[in-house]
């Protein structure tokens, strides 16, 4: 049932400028675009998330020397974030479904900003390890909350773009982080001050989230009746379709475990993150040690590689939505795009192991990242499989699976590099992860909600 919109007039009887301006002369109200503005804010938020998350990788050549860390300890330190981040995913997904994404996302921002600043005071391996674990705990709510907002705020025909706008903050933040953190270190003369400044910026982002994000379009003062009804019509159609399929509303995680598509979602995200987090955590050190890059060159190379991922992700989401809106089935669109992505990523990573030229290696890694980030479309899957009601817990389960790769991969690469003195087998480890990703994206059924 549609709820009358009473937000077009203020308390003193004057018109709300954002909503009244949407009334053209023909009398047909144009939709506001608050949902797109909100997702641009989430794009910035996730970018800041990954600047903070990847800051240690950029500063790692300095930190490794200052703390006198062997490759094995470097891998363990890089994994610290992911242990707690992964373990918190399902609990935080349940909290999002219960309390709403706005509260959880705001609390995450303030907490991880404080933890990032605290890491600037680390005196050695142990204190840095604990600080990184704290960042993992506090960052855990951001992506599952974003997946829930995608289910609530985006029309069914827009969720591919919504998912990739949200997730594109990851390569954007990783790319900008390389320049910004390197620049902060150079300008302040201290990696510690760089971390403290990054943490303070994150707390400010938390305040912006609380100010603009809402758990329901009807709660937002900028949403007019046309936009609210547009989203509600999409939700009503989805709910009617789910009822025909036998879906029963809010459910815990356990009933989903018997479905192939649930496991394909989890293993697809596991394989994706095996590649992405491997390059995020060890990429700068690889460029320093295997290619001889200095701090400035590392920063710009990281920007090029992950910047290509940002462009690729936005493009992938746009292609997916336009193709779906032309009448193609979800399975055809997703399996084709993500299958192509997997093939290019596997081939590109094999190429990096073969070429010796540094510039060619950066170009190949940029191509890998461009196509790898198409898999950001996966953030539309929790709402496809579980609907708006269960998108939080399914997003948490998916991200938990992905971040198993997050804490295994840095340790595995550290052990490989320590044992072989080379990055070749580490890159082949990434190839194995991409193969797992490819098998999963071709197995998943993207066409309907799971009947639980």
The CATH number for 62's domain is 1.20.1250.20
Residue 267, in any domain of the structure: yes
- Per the listing, tokens 């290619």 go with 291
When the pLDDT of each residue in the chain is averaged and rounded to a whole number, the result is 85
Which band of pLDDT confidence, cut at 50, 70 and 90, is reported for residue 36?
A: very high
d(CA 67, CA 364): 32
334 vs 4, more confident: 334
The H or E element containing residue 209 is helix 191-212
Sign of the CA dihedral with 118 first, then 124, 127, and 129 last:
positive
Which residues are CB-neighbours of 125 under 8 A, at least 6 positions away? 67, 69, 73, 77
Residue 3, in any domain of the structure: no
d(CA 85, CA 273): 13
DSSP 8-state symbol, 375 = G
Which tens digit of pLDDT belongs to each residue from 295-335? 778 778 888 998 999 999 999 989 998 998 899 999 999 99
Residue 452, in any domain of the structure: no
Structure tokens at 227: 């936009």
Structure tokens at 157: 């025909």
Contact criterion met (CB below 8 Å) for 377 and 321: no
DSSP 8-state symbol, 15 = B
Residue 274, in any domain of the structure: yes
Residue 13, in any domain of the structure: no
Range of 109's domain?
A: 32-443
Which band of pLDDT confidence, cut at 50, 70 and 90, is reported for residue 12?
A: very low
d(CA 147, CA 124): 36
- Domain count for the chain: 1
């Amino acid at each position: 049932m549609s709820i009358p919109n009473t937000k077009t007039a203020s308390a003193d009887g004057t018109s709300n400028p954002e909503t009244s301006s949407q009334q053209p002369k023909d009398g047909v109200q144009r939709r506001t675009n608050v949902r797109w503005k909100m997702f641009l804010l989430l794009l910035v938020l996730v970018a800041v998330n990954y600047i903070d998350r990847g800051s240690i990788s950029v500063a790692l050549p300095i930190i490794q020397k200052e703390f006198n860390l062997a490759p094995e300890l470097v891998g363990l330190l890089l994994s610290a974030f992911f242990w707690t981040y992964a373990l918190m995913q399902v609990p935080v997904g349940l909290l999002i479904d219960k309390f709403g994404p706005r509260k959880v996302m705001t609390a995450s921002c303030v907490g991880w900003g404080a933890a990032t600043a605290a890491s600037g005071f680390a005196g050695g391996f142990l204190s840095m390890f604990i600080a990184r674990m704290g960042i993992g705990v506090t960052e855990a709510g951001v992506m599952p909350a974003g997946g829930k907002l995608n289910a609530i705020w985006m029309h069914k025909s827009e969720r591919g773009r919504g998912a990739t706008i949200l997730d594109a903050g990851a390569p954007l933040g990783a790319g900008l982080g390389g320049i910004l953190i390197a620049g902060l270190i150079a300008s302040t003369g201290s990696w510690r001050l760089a971390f403290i400044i990054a943490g303070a910026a994150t707390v400010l982002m938390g305040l912006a989230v609380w100010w603009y994000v809402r758990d329901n379009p009807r709660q937002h003062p900028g949403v007019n009746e046309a936009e609210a009804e547009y989203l509600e019509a999409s939700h009503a159609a989805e709910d009617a379709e789910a009822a025909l399929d036998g879906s029963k509303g809010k459910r815990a995680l356990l009933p989903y475990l018997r479905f192939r598509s649930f496991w394909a979602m989890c293993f697809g995200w596991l394989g994706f993150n095996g590649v992405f987090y491997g390059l995020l955590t060890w990429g700068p050190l690889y460029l320093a040690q295997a290619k001889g890059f200095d701090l400035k060159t590392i920063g710009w190379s990281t920007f090029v590689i992950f910047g290509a991922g940002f462009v690729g992700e936005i493009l992938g989401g746009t292609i997916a939505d336009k193709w779906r809106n032309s009448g193609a089935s979800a399975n055809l669109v997703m399996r084709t795009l993500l299958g192509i992505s997997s093939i290019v990523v596997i081939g590109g990573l094999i190429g990096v192991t073969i070429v010796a030229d540094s510039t060619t290696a950066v170009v190949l890694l940029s191509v890998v990242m461009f196509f790898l980030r198409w898999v950001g479309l996966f953030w539309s899957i929790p709402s496809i499989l579980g609907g708006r009601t269960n998108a939080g817990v399914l997003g948490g389960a998916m991200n938990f699976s992905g971040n198993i790769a997050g804490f295994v991969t840095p340790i595995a690469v550290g052990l490989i590099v320590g044992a072989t003195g080379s990055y070749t087998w580490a890159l082949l480890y990434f190839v194995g992860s991409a193969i797992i990703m490819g098998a999963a994206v071709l197995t998943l059924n993207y066409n309907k909600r799971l009947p639980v």
